Every structure is written in structure tokens, then in C-alpha cells.
């Protein structure tokens, strides 16, 4: 079957993917939750990680009834927690190989 990969999206496509209007996406960008490349909204390009982060932000904002600034903080903390957890898993695995294999 033919598959079509998409690597980056313009604002209008990002709005479709996020099911949001342009002003709503602009607000998410204004809070620094995602930082598309490009100078003006017409030139902005969103990669898939940004779309995923924005979706996560939307879920948090809606389900936990948070302000956007709180969403930005929560996302930063979650990202840091996930990074530390991954690092911990990797280091534990490496230590296990070093001590017991």
C-alpha cells in the first residue's frame, strides 16, 4: 500500500492536525509551548514532535482545566521527568551489564 509521510506542517495544516483555529495555535506558540521555525506565521513550519507536544498541551489544558502558562510549566516538568527516567533506565541497564553479565 502507498504510504505518504509528512515531516513538517504549515500553520493551516497544523490547525487541521490539532483541530484548532489559527488564533488558538498562535496562543500556544505565544506561550512558548511549541516553537515553529520561520519568522512569520505564514512561514512557520511545525515538525511532528511539535504537533504531538501541542496535542498533549491541549489535553492537559482541557482535562485538568489549566491556564496556558501552567500547561507550559507542566510540559517542561514532564519532559524533564521523562528524560531523567530514560537516562535512569539506560544507566541501570548499563550498570546491570557491568556488574552481573
From the CB of residue 72, how many other CB atoms can be counted at a distance below 10 Å? 18
Can you give the C-alpha Rg of the chain in angstroms?
18
What phi, psi does 46 have (nearest 5°)?
-105, 130
90 binds another protein (CB under 8 A): yes
Shortest Å, Cβ 43 to another protein: 21
From the CB of residue 15, how many other CB atoms can be counted at a distance below 10 Å? 18
Q: Which of 18, 29, 34, 72 binds another protein (CB under 8 A)?
A: 18
Interface residue list for another protein (CB under 8 A): 1, 3-6, 15-21, 48-49, 51-52, 56, 59-60, 62-65, 74, 78, 90, 93-94, 97-98, 101
Amino acid at each position: 500500500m502507498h504510504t505518504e509521510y509528512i515531516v513538517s506542517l504549515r500553520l493551516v495544516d497544523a490547525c487541521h492536525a490539532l483541530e484548532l483555529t489559527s488564533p488558538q495555535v498562535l496562543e500556544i506558540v505565544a506561550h512558548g509551548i511549541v516553537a515553529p521555525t520561520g519568522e512569520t506565521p505564514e512561514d512557520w513550519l511545525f515538525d511532528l514532535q511539535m504537533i504531538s507536544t501541542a496535542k498533549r498541551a491541549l489535553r492537559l489544558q482541557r482535562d485538568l482545566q489549566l491556564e496556558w502558562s501552567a500547561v507550559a510549566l507542566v510540559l517542561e516538568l514532564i519532559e524533564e521527568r521523562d528524560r531523567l527516567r530514560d537516562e535512569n533506565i539506560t544507566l541501570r541497564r548499563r550498570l546491570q551489564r557491568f556488574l552481573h553479565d
